[in-house]
Amino acid sequence: MKNLAYATFIIIFVHINILVSPYLIHAEQGFDSVIQLPHSGFSRTRPRSKRVLSVGDYGAKGDGLHNDTEAFLEVWKIACSLSGFINVLFPHGKTFLVHPIDIGGPCQSKITLRISGIIVAPEDPVVWHGLNQRKWLYFHGVNHLTLDGGGGINGMGQEWWARSCKINSTNPCHPAPTALTFHKCKNLRVRNLMLLNSQQMHMAFTGCIRVVASHLKVLAPASSPNTDGIHISATKSVEIRDSLIRTGDDCISIVRNSSRILIRNITCGPGHGISIGSLGKSKKWEKVQNVVVNGAYLFNTNNGVRIKTWQGGSGFASKITFQNILMENVSNPIIIDQYYCDSRHPCKNQSSAVKVENISFIDIQGTSATEEAIKLDCSDTSPCERLYLENIFLVPCYGGYATSYCWQAYGSARGFVYPPNCLSSSNGFIRQNEWLESNPAIHSV
């Protein structure tokens, strides 16, 4: 009977793949545009109305050996002082070595950094001695900025990874740079670029408003520590779409005081999946709300779609929807973890917690690398409320049955849900390790 049931599940899963295949074809077409970008972007919009300033005209060698930082700063200063639309060009076929750099606004002009070549970081962390070790390319206070061009940004992070305490526990834990940081920028666009091997996080938006990031390819080895693809913090009105992210940490992470975020048409893996949080560390009050992830393919990731909070924090994660997601060989496909503890030492039990409510998981199918495909592990004193499951089908990669686990998780389900719904709709809790024994109808699916 078990073999018959599992075979039926596989038939359903194949049918689901047929249904979603048009989406995957569309996704692959989107990524082709990242891989096969034109070397020059001047054919896009009104080339005659924009002035072009090439870093090569201001002393940049573009040979990957000479330091081109001063040339970058000089051309930025001029572009920022002008009016109208300005293109700052990093030409195709050249490699520009840029040391840690602080690029500030506001500017009178609307600037497009046309990165058609490659910008690389220094390989040796010693270059950051006496500087902020969390920054490499740091933009702040710039409005109406666009990064485009089909080129790449390479953080040369290998030496930083080797010194990480997460790679070698005998090493001291030190910060490492985020390759590309945007702080307090408005009306920002980042598109048609490849980000490689960041020292730590690849791209971060902090305190920004109105951001669109699209047609990006973000790549680092699965073993690289803390190399989140895209990190969103204290930022509002964000759209991330049509991108491929393969790193050693979260493909996309959304943290404190961020809202109105749309994520669509994303391929993620390897990495740690798409995460809300962590929230509430060190007893902080933090919130994330109004987030929609609509259309994603996750493969070989440590987690699928996740919400993680620390004990002792406060605030809330609310009005969050994950939908139209296909997973392949994903550990913890659906997870809420209110006992998150990323520490060398055990975390103390604490009564306060970030409130998790109004969370929906809709149309999520695929294969789980673990038996426990749904884990909703919520706070004793601040349970998860108004959780919603609809059309969920997650089966183990290597046969057998999938299970659900719920602790202090309240809500409802609709449509076909497998592994079976373990949410409680009344006071109390349901702790479930194996629903199949108490639900014989599942055997006849």
Lowest mean pLDDT, pick from 333-337, 341-345, 350-354: 341-345
The arithmetic mean of pLDDT across residues 80-96, rounded, is 97
What letter would DSSP give residue 78? H
Q: What integer best gives the mean pLDDT of the chain?
A: 88
Distance (Å, whole) CA 432 – CA 442 = 15
pLDDT at 413: 97
- Cα pseudo-dihedral 14, 15, 17, 23, rounded to 10: 170
Where residue 351 falls among pLDDT bands split at 50, 70, 90? confident
Q: What angle do CA 204, 207, 213 make, to 5 degrees?
A: 45
pLDDT in tens, 429-442: 333 333 334 443 33
Contacts of 325 (CB under 8 A, 6+ apart): 293, 295, 296, 297, 298, 304, 305, 363, 364, 365, 366
Query: What's the one-letter identity of residue 126?
Result: V
Statement: residue 22 has pLDDT above 50: no
Strand partners, 153: 119, 195
Q: Which domains does the chain have, with CATH numbers?
A: 2-17+118-123+143-444 (2.160.20.10)
Statement: residue 85 has pLDDT above 70: yes
Q: What is the SS3 assignment for 127-169?
A: HHCCCCCCEEEEEECCECCEEECCCEEECCCHHHHHCCCCCCC
pTM for this model (two decimals): 0.86
The arithmetic mean of pLDDT across residues 80-85, rounded, is 96
pLDDT at 318: 98
Are 155 and 162 within 8 A, CB to CB? Answer: no
**Residues involved in catalysis:** 272
Distance (Å, whole) CA 211 – CA 186 = 7
Statement: residue 28 has pLDDT above 80: no
Classify the C-alpha dihedral 156-119-173-340 as positive or negative: negative
Q: What is the SS3 assignment for 294-313?
A: EEEEEECECCCEEEEECECC
Helix (H, G, I), strand (E, B) or coil at 34: helix
Q: What are the two backbone dihedrals, phi and then psi, of residue 300, each rounded to the nearest 5 degrees?
A: 55, 40
pLDDT in tens, 121-154: 999 999 999 999 999 999 999 999 999 999 999 9
The arithmetic mean of pLDDT across residues 95-108, rounded, is 98
pLDDT at 203: 98
pLDDT in tens, 148-184: 999 999 999 999 999 999 999 899 999 999 999 999 9
pLDDT in tens, 47-76: 445 799 999 999 999 999 999 999 999 999
Distance (Å, whole) CA 64 – CA 59 = 13
For residue 1, give the nearest of 440, 417, 394, 369 by alpha carbon: 440
pLDDT at 49: 52
